[in-house]
Structure 1
Amino acid sequence: MNIFHVIVLAIIEGLTEFLPVSSTGHMVVASSLMGIGKDEFVKLFEIVIQLGAILSVVVLYFKRFFRSFKFYIKLVVGVIPAVIFGVLFKSKIQMLLENPLVVGAALVVGGVVLLFVDDWFKKPTITKEEDISYLTALKIGFFQCLAMIPGVSRSASSIIGGMSQKLSRMAAAEFSFFLAVPTMFGATLKDVYDFYKDGGISQADLYQDIKFLLVGSLIAFIVALLAIKSFITFLERKGFKVFGWYRIIAGIIIIILYYTGNALNTI
């Protein structure tokens, strides 16, 4: 992995983290095409820079994070399913992360869902976070767990989960952003700890790895700041269909490349 790879992956992460297109899926494919998909540090890098992008939410919604204690309880309740499923199925999740075919299939299936989701949930009754109950937060948390399959998209699964619980598109998107903060913070700490505990790094590489993680996180953070507001505005006006068609086309291309002997199948 070099600084070019760092910049490319960080930009992809910042652009796609909050879009319902799967940032993890895009990074898996990109790292495979660049020939670094088998690198264990790259897998760690892709998790850590997601936290960098997620922290942009704290900056943009700073006041919301200091409004009430109930807000934090909802986030804790919402992240419980991810903690449980993450612990139980981590090894299987890691295997899925190594398969671009899974990404392609998940993109297509998720894209088809996004074509119809605006028609399925037309009458929301919850338009702000304060009206979200603890039970609703827990249900959205279970939907978020679907994103453990690369290509599904954490943003898409949690937003759709919110809309299924009568949240408006705006309220569902914002709560998805909020829920991402503790989810990705926990995932990052766990992966960093496991990586270094298992001897995944030598002392000689420590400085370079830290530099790559910091630079990648900073780039993802800046790009995500610009992407969030644009996404919210677009979502309010246009809905999900554009993202649905994008996912279907991208997924089909990935599947074709995989089966035609492209570098994707060497991951």
Structure 2
Amino acid sequence: MSTLHAIIIAIIEGLTEFLPISSTGHMAIASAIMGDNGDFAKLFEIVIQFGAILSVVVLYWRKFFDFKKISFYIKLIIAIIPALAFGALFKKHIDAMLEKPMIIALIMLLGGIVLLFVDKWFQKSTIDNEANISNKKAFIIGLYQVLSIVFPGLSRSAATIIGGMQQKLSRRLAAEFSFFLAVPTMLAATVYSLYKMYKEQPEVLTHSGNIGTLLLGCAIAFIVAILAIKFFITFLQKHGFRLFGWYRIIVGLALIILFYTGVIG
């Protein structure tokens, strides 16, 4: 993996991880266009998510380090259970889907159509404080997150935010809880991927320069993600999801065209 490729993928991850446009889909397509889908490239795309989630911990550090409110941690644990269970069950399915840009493009397109109507579907929110999210609601939001695991390209952020709004959370709180839930979810994915690679192909990790590339990617994703989160919360409260919906539709259609013209194999 070249340094330029690593920088491009890290910027994409930082920009898209917390927006409802699918970071996994964007990174998979970018790697396909640049022609690098090797084992290290796949590992890189997962590990740099750790850099992105650190931005959430930094921006919301009071929330994550307020150990007096144990209920916050309990909700995150409850919400992550479905993703851990289904992630283990569908690992081969996920890997196979990520090898098919056409499927990702279709999911991107359909997800965009859904986002056009989300603001109308969930107008009457009654919860605007994390303390009022029950354990049951946290679990249901976790079930929505499973959709993004089963259908790569759907967007973990989009799925969990829609799940939160369906459970009567305000747009702002649904987005923030999605950010919070990303921390244990992405941390688990990063640790598992590194462990699996170390056990099965340790030479990939010990290869000259690879550790440095991972650290560079995490640092770039961290910085870009901080800016993306601040933008997203402000934009979402004022304008809702329609622009993201149209963006996904345009990107999905463009990817389908690239697929049929042979640019993406």
Instruction: Indicate the TM-score class for this superposition, using the shorter chain for normalisation.
Output: over 0.9
CA distance in 1, matches of 2:202, 2:256: 31
In 2: Cα distance, 1:234 partner to 1:200 partner: 43
Return the alpha-carbon distance in structure 1 between the equivalents of residues 115 and 206 of structure 2.
Answer: 46
Q: Is the 8 A contact 2:23 2:155 kept in 1?
A: yes
Q: 1:252 to 1:70 in 2, by over 3 A?
A: same
Whole-angstrom distance in 1 between the partners of 2:92 and 2:200: 14
Deviation at 1:201, TM superposition (A): 2.3
Partner of 2:3: 3
1:133-212, aligned counterparts within 5 Å? Answer: 133-148=134-149, 149-199=151-201, 201-202=203-204, 205=207, 207-212=208-213
CA–CA distance in structure 2, aligned partners of residues 20 and 202 of structure 1: 32
- Aligned amino acid, residue 63 of structure 2: R
Contact 1:40 / 1:200 at 8 angstroms: preserved in 2? no
Is 1:232 the counterpart of 2:236? The answer is no
| Letter in structure 1 aligned against 2:173 | A
Moved more, 175-184 or 94-103: 94-103
Q: Compared with structure 1, are the counterparts of its residues 59 and 80 closer, same or farther at alpha carbon in structure 2 (3 Å cutoff)? A: same
- Kindly provide the amino acid, as one letter, of the partner of residue 245 in structure 2: G
Moved more, 28-37 or 173-182: 28-37
The match for 1:58 is 57
Range with greater deviation from structure 2 (131-140 or 62-71): 62-71
The C-alpha deviation readout for 1:178-215, integer Å capped at 9, x for no partner, is 0000000001100111112112525761x411111100
C-alpha spacing 1:203/1:100, structure 2 compared with 1 (3 Å): closer
Residues 230, 35 of structure 1: CA spacing in aligned structure 2 closer, same or farther, 3 A cutoff? Answer: same
Alignment-mate amino acid for residue 26 of structure 2: H
Residue 120 of structure 2 corresponds to residue 122 of structure 1: no
Q: Percent identity?
A: 58
User: How many residues are treated as equivalent by the alignment?
Assistant: 262
- The runs of 5 or more residues in structure 1 that have no matched partner are none
Runs of 4+ in 1 over 4 A off after TM superposition: none
Cα distance between partner residues in 1 of 2:157 and 2:44 = 20
| Residue 204 to residue 58, structure 1, CA distance change in 2 (3 Å) | closer
What is the CA distance between 1:261 and its match in structure 2? 1.3
Q: Matched residues in 2 for 1:203 and 1:21: separation? A: 30
Q: 1:260 Cα deviation (Å)?
A: 1.5
Q: Does 1:104 align with 2:105?
A: yes
Task: Tell me which residue corresponds to 2:80.
Answer: 79
Separation in 1, partners of 2:235, 2:184: 26
CA distance in structure 2 between the partners assigned to 1:18 and 1:49 by the alignment:
13
Match runs of 1:29-48 below 5 Å: 29-37=29-37, 39-48=38-47
Q: Is the 8 A contact 1:57 1:177 kept in 2?
A: yes
Q: One-letter code of the match for 1:60?
A: L
For 1:54 and 1:135, the matched residues in 2 are separated by: 24
Write the distance in 2 (CA, Å) between the matches of 1:99 and 1:212.
Answer: 26
Give the TM-score, by structure 1 length: 0.96
Q: How much does 1:103 deviate?
A: 1.1
Aligned residue number for residue 49 of structure 1: 48
Q: TM-score, normalised by structure 2?
A: 0.97
> For the Cα contact (< 8 Å) 1:18–1:177, is it kept in 2?
yes
Q: Deviations 1:30-61 (Å, cap 9, x if unpaired)?
A: 01111102x01111100011111011000000
Tell me, what secondary structure is at the counterpart of 1:125? coil
Contact 2:164 2:174 in 1 (8 A): yes
